[in-house]
Structure 1
Amino acid sequence: MKKTTIKIVMALLCPKHIYLKQKIPVIILMLCGILNWHPLFGQINTPVKLIGTVKAGDDLKPLPGATIKIGKSGNAVTSDQNGKFQILTRDTSGVLFISFIGYRTAIIPFNQTEKGPYNIILASDPSVLKEVIVSTGYQTLPKERSTGSFAQIDNQLLNRRVSTDIASRLEGVVPGLLFNRNTVNGSAGNVDISIRGTNTLFANSQPLVIVDGFPYDGDITNINPNDIESITVLKDAAAASIWGVKSGNGVLVLTTKKGSPNLPLSIDFNANLTIGNKPDLFYSRNFINSSDMISLEENLFNKGYFDSNLKTGYVPVSPVIQLLAGHRDGTIAVDQLAAGLSLLANNDIRKDETKYLYRHSVNQQYSLNFKGGGEKSDYFLSLGDDQDKSFYQGNKNSRITVNSRLNFYPIKNLQFSIGANYVQLNATTNNPLYNYGNLAFGSNNIYPYAQLKDANGNAAAIPKDYAKSYTDTVGNGKLTDWNYKPLDELHNADNTLRTIDNRVNLGLNYRFLKDFRADIKYQYEHSAESGLNYNSLATYYSRNLINIYSQINPNGTVTYPIPIGGILQQSDSYLTSQQLRGQLEYNHNWNDKNELTAILGSEISSTENGSNSNTVYGYDQETGASYANIDYATSYGLNPNGAATIPSTLGFGKTTDHFLSYYSNAAYTYDHRYTISLSGRIDKSNLFGVSTNQKSVPLYSTGAAWNISKEGFYHLTWLPYLKLRATFGYTGNINKSATAVATIRQLSNNYYSGDTYNQIANPGNPDLRWEKNRMTNIGLDFTSKNQIVSGSIEYYSKKGIDLFGNSLLAPSTGLSTYFGNTADTKGNGLDLVLNTRIINGSKFKWNNNFILSHATDIVTKYDVTSTSSNYIAFSNSSSIIPLTGKSLYGIYSYSWAGLNHQTGDPQGYIDGKVSTNYSGILANTNINNMVYNGSSRPTTFGSFRNTFTYNDISLSFNIVYKLDYYFRKTSLTSSGLPYSGNEDYYKRWQKPGDELITSVPSLQYPPYTSGRDQFYQYSTALIDKGDHIRLQDISLSYDLYKSNIKNLPINHLQLYGYVNNVGILWRANHDGLDPDLSGNTASAAYPLPRTFALGIKANF
């Protein structure tokens, strides 16, 4: 172990010394080489095979793609994916030149007695740009020799961010990749990802995820980032088309960590603790303070607004309305009323929710990796443990991961590999109020003066569904307690989800005839998810359901169709997939002038998904007993009114998908200057088509690259590297919701006959086929002298063909529309990457990375046109309502003519004239005169990352920006008052002249003018620009190396800190809104809280 350590240290400290397996310094070998070159020693004509392994001096990892050349004869080969090489020569002696971009060239003498195996360690050369190796999932190749559009995320950049999921580590570091955080509940952290825009309308829009050469069918959050070595993002057709009909949205290729032959045991440990702030509930616009809410309620009460609710006797009303009604009825005195209202006015539900429903999040992450190898094998084993306490009280998650891989080399040129991955996730979601705004009474948002605890510190009750006067008296005490106490619900909930995911993969790789390699791979994956939501009798859910269905008989007795006890909701799902691939590879280099690489293969896969669900009534968790005799057929009278059968969630489903594919890829490079590439793939499936030619689709790509800087006429010394490349090709996509055969669905009983009947859900379509995406990409890569500036610029155009959409049918068919390949889209964009070494001193360095991306998507063909009201009301960043000629995620609105100066009413246009005839405005607005504001998703976005290094201290921060898009903000609506409040209440028009300083209409009391609120809510007055610049994160680290500190008991130690979600630096809107939230509605009423992490990494 000590000798190995000395060897590594010498390789790092003395880069001009290359140590071989026999531990002979290169100086001695060069002397031997000089002697062997002497003519007196003669030559032997029998070919000599030289073998060895090439590794990087900085981390001792294999270097695939290194060039090994025999100086005298000119023969050359490249090292394989494990850094291994073998080369034949008839020379009895000579010199090997081993080169790799970013490393100093090694010169190794050879002769009849020194033929290897060589263990060659290349020293890093900071003055030369390191060659980037990209992976398509089928093969690895130097980026310099590729024609396609790749983005490579190495291990250092991948680990810059602290998180438990792999997807979030890509945000702000990949050109063309956008996190659409405003499409769903941003506060929950669930987002979707798009690469170079959206390439489909209704099919899956997420990128394909590849892990170690196979599509990953599980949830990407199952993957432990500590197991990933690098990620390659495939963005254009030449890069991604090899994946066929699954690659239309781009491809994320994840390569896991592995061991290396002849590498001593290496242990890596990583641990970090992340603490997050509580959410800022005071950020939400959807709030009116308690005193103003009480004034509104008083005003509306005096106008009779609540009289109908009070008359029912069971509709819940707020405490203020109860006090006012009691005073009107003479049961509450004036002073009691005043005291009660004063007490309520001092409450703020946001304070109670912040205190009792939320907490500081705490995440603990631990990872331990073992890797190494001998002459005949190498290994990797990782163990991961993540414990996450969400900022929602009662919610927590845990994840355990085990990942292993063994490679065996039993005989020369043969490699056998086996990998296994195990993931277990346990999620507890016991906070039913996990989002601000979920707390409600009746159909209304909760009143702002509500309390979660009473004066004695006990859980307070809130009239959730029914008036307290009703629940306290109905059934004469024979029903279960009908009070709803939110804090009790938090403690009584028992909602768990367990997921287990297993993957096993096998591989056999054999090299023969020098340039050929046969490869067979197989993967089996099984994922099972089991959900249990136990609602004990203590929960409101069970008590409420039991009471609703309880039958109160005329004699005062009560029967319980739903038995008194707990209610257990079960849900189970599974996924089983198998994939088998056979591949033949060819790689040959002629005299370091001509290089040809090619692959030819076929793969077959099968995926089965299944699910079932059930509800068990009268369940006792301690005994496991339940009540089986539930009558689901009878319609029971409900309390307080109505009738219904007992709900049953019994259900099951199963789908099976089969795929058969043939593929090929080839690339030829001449003299390191010119490269051409071709790829093709045919996919077949049981999903589409009826005839054979409709069950398969050929997808292909072609590309060319020109290394201009290698030309003899090129003499720009300040720009030593310049490469032009262009590609064209097709990728595809799948929509599993469509089928080529006719499908029906069973509906309820016919009104007249009482019989069940069926309805055609989708007519048969024998022409159903895959979606296709055609893309052209042109790129220019460049590097200045000493790498002061490097980067790339790419322009692309794309066209979506045969996309799934709705199309009109003749009325005689009995159907109005059908779902098929009827839509087209187009788009274009730009990706710019600039890497700058601003300061590159011996101690202090300042590097900058700038990313600029622009992506647009336009619908060019869609047969069905909806109404203008649908386009306006449902246009947002998460919904697509296609309209030919407009953005996929366009946002539309009514024309705005300001406020009436006398009444404060909102004004629009009818036939070009200002009007307050809202019904007329809504009726006369069509798709031709409605306002198209623009895209609701950013069309220009990117990041600006700076890294400062002083000796072993590194500080970096990443600024991300999103530009050229719009969002619709919420505002005040008179009909939504009093409980759907909004801070625009304080900006409303109140007197003539206010129309000059506000666009918020005057408050209108019942009766409301029809269409007034709808017009204002969807007018351009509430459209704002989403442009903003955000300081995403800050990272600080300090590294200690054994080579610098002799007494350090480990090889490398890193201490690091990380701050995420730092804050917005600039925004275009003037309301202080975060455009990344989903419309800034109650379901996403606060930005992601800021988090702080501290961690340690160690290598032994």
Structure 2
Amino acid sequence: MRNLVFLFLVIIIALGHHANAQQIELRGRVISATDQTPLAGVTVKIANGAAGTTNAKGEFKLVVTAQKNKLSISLIGYQTLMVTIDLAQKNDEVFLLQPTIINLNEVTITTGYEIVPKERVTGSFTVIDNKTYNQQIGTGVLERLRFITNGVAPVADRITILGDNAMLIRGMSTLTQNIQRPLVIVDNFEYQGDYNNINPNDIESVSFLKDAAAGSIWGAKAANGVIVLTTKKGKYGQPLKINFTSNLSTAAPPDLYYDKPIAAADLIAVEQFLFAQKYRFTDTARSTHPPFSQVYELLFKQKAGQITSAAVADELRKLSTKDVRADFANYFYQQEINQQYALSLSGGSPVMAWNLSLGVDRNKSNLAATYNRNTLRFGNQIQLNKALALNLDIAFTNGYNGSGKPAYGSISPTNGALPVYSSFADVNGNALPLYTNYRQGYIDNLGAGKLLDWRYYPLEDYKYATTVNRINELNATIGLNYTILPALKAAVNYRIARQWSGLSTLNAEQSYLTRNLINTFTQVNTITGLVNYKVPRGDIYDHTDEVMTAQNLRAQLNYDKHWGLGELHVLAGTEWSERLLSSNTQRLYGYDAEMLGFTPVDVINTYPSYMSGSLTNIPYLDSRGELNNRFTSYYANAAYTFDKRYTLSASARRDASNLFGVATNDRWEPFWSVGASWNVLQEKWFKSAAIQELKLRASYGKQGNVDPKKVAVTTIAYGNNSIYTQTPWSQVANYPNPDLKWEQVGMLNLGIDFNAWKGKLSGSIEYYTKKMSDLYALVAIDRTTGISSGTVTRNIGQAKGHGWDIELKTSHQIGQLNWNADLILNTYTDRITKLNQNNFTGREVMATGFSIVEGYSLSSLFAFKWAGLDPQTGDPMGYLNGQVSKDYSAILTTTKLADATYIGSQFPKLFGSLGSSWRYKGFELTARLSYKFAYFFKRNSIDYGALVTQLGGHADYAKRWQKSGDELYTNVPSFVYPVIAVRDEFYRNSAVLFEKGDHIRLQYLNLSYTLNQSAYKWLPIKAVRLGIAANKLGIIWKANKAGLDPEANTIPRSQNITAALNINF
């Protein structure tokens, strides 16, 4: 019996020892996938086993008995991660948690007056975080926002009137295109300098305020939407953080062959025909000696017997093989190189937070133009005591723009276009002259050596005609925040911005501009041979100084009170702002850059032109200007939330300005908004495990729009001394209008925010309508005022618009593979409802640009109805009084709007993008498609008037009607001589030249790899990210069959490739 007991004890001990031998320690670390910071309090659980949480370093330890274990890793605010770990292969693994797509408690919106948690929002906002903002790399602060923002449409390059990188927030809101741009706010104040002065690497986040509840707090300037840029800041108690970014971008020269000029052989044939018709023969006797083309000069020599027909034919054959685009590509265009470096430091203590950033950009364009930018930004927040805090921000920018080589299309003779067969150099690379102002045979031997060379050499001239623009901007903000009571705080902030711009153009004596002016006013004594230079020898220096000073002073009270189930948030304040712009332009003749000397000239008296003998003045460019805009505003905003379920909001603002009329400033008519939201998820009766967010929103309010160039008072513009009376003259530039006020836009917004299945489907759906009133429009002056002609701006226009903003997101995680995708889908349609100007004829409404017509879109395109080509003559045919007609003059002048063809809108009615990103361990791939549908554009075609008078032709010349039957295959009219101008005008504005703009484009593609110190212990830095990005990758589908890029202005943008490096210390 004793032996049995002993044997039993031995077995128990052995089994226990075996069991202890099978216990394994599973170790790991959990960090955030977005910024690689350790996550504390993460629950780590083994299926049907032990569980634990991470410490402050994100580390955890669990005792397991199996080699393979299924882990569940979860934390509120992050997506749960399910992984299987094989301890036989790896231990001490690093796990990355992805934030949930929408977390109401963490997302905030910056309006420029306050920071609002998203759960309190009743209006329409879109927030772009730092990661999304940096998916597109570029020098400009706004260009990174293209195609990533719900409700925002980037404007096509071909619509140049709105400026570079322009964008529309919920469509157009005005008939005045030059005030269509959104209001841009930087760190709580309107930014009024050059946007290029802002370093995009300083931006932390961007908020778009899209409706009245969001933007009405900005009053008379918010109707086009508001873009709020928030720069990076330090945090209290934050250890030192250092971040370095380097981007090296390159872009190939543009595809000049995308442009389709007339073929050289066709142009030569046209010129031979014109010569046979003796076209321009009378110009040979003109005293101004206008230039002729190379073809004409050869034909003149042949006519005079100076060259044989065979020699002419050989020279014309050589010219027919030339293409000026090849010379532009070979001699002027090059690879574009952009270098960007950014260094930021930030940190803090319990009573102070600070940040310092430095930025350097060194860009060389594909035309060798130079752009350099140096930026410095410093911010400091100091808690002076428990109640008082001081904020100080200083930003400085130094910018330099230097001119490069001439661009394609920028060189042309004074009387026409540059012939396609032109050359800039001979076969040995020696510069060839172009005769742009005067005839070759005349100036080659003019002056008997007393004049400067009067020929223009494009290959050399740009070296002696340089333009430099230097910009310096200082922006400083100081603010005090004082806690009066726990619920009541006061703030006073003052901002001053000063921008100095110096634009200088130095035309050296070797430049054509200087040589031309010197020669034009040179007087040669035919007896003594003495030369008198009325324009002195030496350089010509043009300089414009422009100084902009903007000031803002704001005082504001904030009240935040929580009691029981209620929350009340109120702010009220007043703001004063001023923007003073002064300019000074001067020209110096006989300038010596080394000695800074110049020679005064007589700009009062007239002198004979050496070429024609006509009397004229030496050009005088000196001018002065000053513009001062001032605003005074009062504003208030309030929101009340009950039980975290129901929120009511309201805002009001009143603006007065020196731009408005007396009647407007004296009348109390504030901008305002009201809004409400319902957080359905907080209702006790709403129970759904699948829904994590469900919120309904509604708002209505009014915003304004102002054109600072339109003022209500009589404005007199003074000119320089008259050349006849030698006394100053003036004219009325603006007539009085005491009722002039801002434009108004009232907007109703209805929205729903949702998040289902833990981020697998989330997003927002919004519908909005807006009514635009008091829109600026020109009306004829009442003749009873005593003024017989002229116009005055009045607030008479009205319009309506509506659209949908839809954004859908999805997120999925399969092991260590994380996939995110988002779809932005926007629609917009508008219509002018009142204009008081409807007696349009076809010619008036078919003019280039925007057709402003009551009953149609604000961006309408109209055209003359097209009836095809006459099968006998190839003439274009239209309609007059419902009948096919070739009476072009009558069609142009008597066609009524109802008889014209409405093509459609220049802006898309449906637009958006589709983005997707894949992350696996340290690798991440991001791509985005953009699309635009339901809009139109007009393509270029042949203009026979321009072909004959300027030698500027289009490749459609080769498709022209030439014989009966061609009308079945072409819509290009026949060539007739003499040219009939109204025939050309009808064809240029006919419906046959309009194309659908619908297209899908691959916008950008990014690939990166991140190494983290937490995963690679040997790494001496916190994290490093290496990446390559491709932008503007081109169209993958388009509706038009002409092979055209509907967004391009002459030449499409080139693809851009960037190598990126980011290091966190």
> What TM-score results when the alignment is normalised by the length of structure 1?
0.86
1:567 aligns with 2:540: yes
Residue 5 (structure 2) aligns with:
none
Q: Which residue of 2 aligns with 1:383?
A: 358
Alignment of 1:789-828 (within 5 A): 789-813=761-785, 814-816=787-789, 817-828=791-802
- Does 2:868 align with 1:842? no
Counterpart of 2:557 in structure 1 is 584
Residue 11 to residue 453, structure 1, CA distance change in 2 (3 Å): closer
Q: Determine if contact 2:1025/2:1062 at 8 Å carries over to the other structure.
A: yes
Residues 558-580 of structure 1 deviation map (CA, whole Å, 9 limit, x = unaligned)? 43221122110010101111111
CA distance in 1, matches of 2:561, 2:725: 76
Equivalence for 1:237: 212
Distance 1:398 1:279 in 2: 22
Q: Quick one: structure 1 residues 737 and 870, their matched pair in 2 at CA, closer, same or farther if it must change by over 3 Å? A: farther
What is the distance in 1 between the residues matched to 2:411 and 2:840? Answer: 34
Q: 2:496 aligns with which of 524, 531, 548?
A: 524
Map of 2:457 onto structure 1: 485
Match of 1:961 in 2: 931
CA distance in structure 2 between the aligned counterparts of 1:939 and 1:519, rounded to whole angstroms: 43
Q: What is the deviation of 1:154?
A: 0.3
Counterpart code for 2:1061: I
Match of 1:89 in 2: none
Whether the 8 Å CA contact 1:564–1:618 is kept in 2: the answer is yes
2:41: which partner in 1? 15
- For 1:898, the equivalent position in structure 2 comes to 868
Query: For 1:17 and 1:577, how far apart are their aligned partners in 2?
Result: 53
Taking the aligned partners of 1:6 and 1:744, their CA distance within structure 2 comes to 70
* 3-state DSSP of counterpart to 1:494: strand
Alignment of 1:456-855 (within 5 A): 456-553=428-525, 555=527, 557-591=530-564, 593-634=565-606, 636-637=608-609, 639-640=611-612, 642-691=614-663, 693-694=665-666, 697-745=669-717, 758-813=730-785, 814-816=787-789, 817-837=791-811, 839-855=812-828
- The answer on whether the counterparts of 2:842 and 2:894 sit within 8 Å (CA) in structure 1 is no
Distance 1:1096 1:982 in 2: 45
C-alpha deviations, 1:608-629, integer Å up to 9, x for none?
Answer: 1111101111111121111114
Q: Distance in 2 between matches of 1:294 and 1:410?
A: 80
| CA distance in 1 between partners of 2:425 and 2:981 (Å) | 40
Which amino acid letter does the alignment assign opposite residue 735 of structure 1? Answer: D
Preserved contact between residue 604 and residue 723 of structure 2 (Cα < 8 Å): no
Give the Cα separation in 2 of the matches to 1:977 and 1:125: 62
- Structure 1 CA distance, aligned partners of 2:590 and 2:237? 63
Aligned partners of 1:854, 1:507: CA distance in 2, in Å? 41
In 1, the alpha carbon distance for the partners of 2:102 and 2:109 equals 18
Matched residue SS, 1:1012: helix
SS at 1:765 equivalent: coil
1:885 corresponding residue in structure 2: 855
Q: Secondary structure at the match of 2:818?
A: strand
Is the contact between residue 561 and residue 631 of structure 1 (CA under 8 Å) also seen in structure 2? no
Aligned to 1:22: none
CA deviation vs aligned residue, 1:660-696 (integer Å, no higher than 9, x gap) = 2111111111111111101111112222122585376
CA separation of 1:705 and 1:6: change in aligned 2, threshold 3 A: closer
Matched position secondary structure for 1:144: helix
Kept in 2: contact 1:184–1:191 (CA 8 A): no
Q: Which residue of 2 aligns with 1:117?
A: none
One-letter amino acid of the structure 2 residue matched with residue 907 of structure 1? M
**Within-5 A mapping of 1:365-380:** 365-380=340-355
Cα distance in 1 between the residues matched to 2:480 and 2:746 = 35
Identity %: 37
Is residue 851–residue 861 contact of structure 2 (8 Å, CA) maintained in 1? Answer: no
Q: Is the 8 A contact 1:12 1:123 kept in 2?
A: no
Higher alpha-carbon deviation: 545-554 or 157-166: 545-554
Q: Which amino acid aligns with 1:496?
A: V
Q: In the TM superposition, what is the alpha-carbon distance from 1:377 to its structure 2 partner?
A: 0.8
> Does the 8 Å contact 2:603/2:619 carry over to 1?
no
Equivalent position of 2:19 in the other structure: none
Q: Which moved more, 1:980-989 or 1:419-428?
A: 980-989
Q: 2:298 aligns with which of 308, 323, 333?
A: 323
CA, structure 1 residues 1050+937, in 2 after alignment: closer, same or farther (shift >3 Å)? same
Q: Partner of 1:345 in structure 2?
A: 320
2-structure distance, mates of 1:641, 1:998: 50
C-alpha separation in 2, matches of 1:577 and 1:1047: 51
Return the offset for 1:642.
Answer: 3.8
Distance 2:928 2:341 in 1: 25
Deviation string, structure 1 residues 100-128 (Cα, Å, up to 9, x no partner): 85599xxxxxxxxxxxxxxxxx9976487
| Separation in structure 1 between the aligned mates of residue 608 and residue 58 of structure 2, nearest angstrom | 77
Q: Is the 8 A contact 2:322 2:422 kept in 1?
A: yes
What pairs up with 1:373-452 in 2 under 5 angstroms? Answer: 373-393=348-368, 395-431=369-405, 433-434=406-407, 436-452=408-424
Contact 1:697 1:770 in 2 (8 A): no
Aligned residues: 990
Q: Does 1:152 align with 2:127?
A: yes
1:462–1:690 CA distance, 2 compared to 1 (3 A): same
8 Å CA contact retained: 2:38, 2:57: no
**CA 1:695/1:635 → structure 2, altered by over 3 Å: closer, same or farther?**
farther
Q: Does 1:984 align with 2:984?
A: no
Pair 318,17 (structure 1): closer, same or farther in 2 beyond 3 Å? same
- Residues 753/930 of structure 1: CA separation in 2 closer, same or farther (3 Å cut): farther
Match of 1:938 among 883, 905, 908: 908
Deviations 1:736-788, CA, capped at 9 Å, x for gaps: 22222222345799999998765433322222222211111111111111111
Structure-2 separation of matches of 1:214 and 1:924: 51
Q: Secondary structure at the match of 1:243?
A: helix
Amino acid at match of 2:351: K
Deviations 1:926-948 (A, max 9, x none): 23322221111222211111112
Structure 2 counterpart of 1:1043, from 1014, 1035, 1050: 1014
State the AA in 1 paired with 2:858: L
Q: Secondary structure at the match of 1:787?
A: coil
Gap change, CA 1:482 and 1:929, over 3 Å in 2: same
Partner secondary structure for residue 327 of structure 1: helix
Call closer, same or farther: CA 1:515–1:741 in 2, change over 3 Å.
same
Give distance in 1, aligned partners of 2:627 and 2:884. 56
SS in structure 1 of the partner of residue 1019 of structure 2: coil
SS at match of 1:460: coil
Deviations 1:420-466 (A, max 9, x none): 000010000133x22x2122123221112211111232111111111
Contact 1:181 1:190 in 2 (8 A): no
State the secondary structure of the residue aligned to 2:899.
Answer: coil
Residue matched to 1:1058 = 1029
Distance change (3 Å), C-alpha of 1:523 and 1:770: same
| The 10-residue stretch of structure 1 (196-205 or 1036-1045) with the greater mean CA deviation from structure 2 | 196-205
8 Å contact from structure 1 (residues 380, 404) kept in 2: yes
Note the C-alpha offset of 1:810.
3.0
1:917 Cα deviation after fit = 2.0
Q: Say whether the 8 Å CA contact 1:11–1:123 is kept in structure 2.
A: no
Partner amino acid for 1:566?
D
Q: Is the 8 A contact 1:128 1:786 kept in 2?
A: no
**Aligned counterpart in structure 1 of residue 335 of structure 2, from 360, 364, 373:** 360
Q: 5+ unaligned residues in a row in structure 1: which ranges?
A: 19-25, 30-54, 59-98, 105-121, 1079-1084
Q: Does 1:305 align with 2:279?
A: yes
1:613-664 CA-to-partner distances (Å, cap 9, x unmatched) read: 0111111112111111423343544523543211111111112222221111
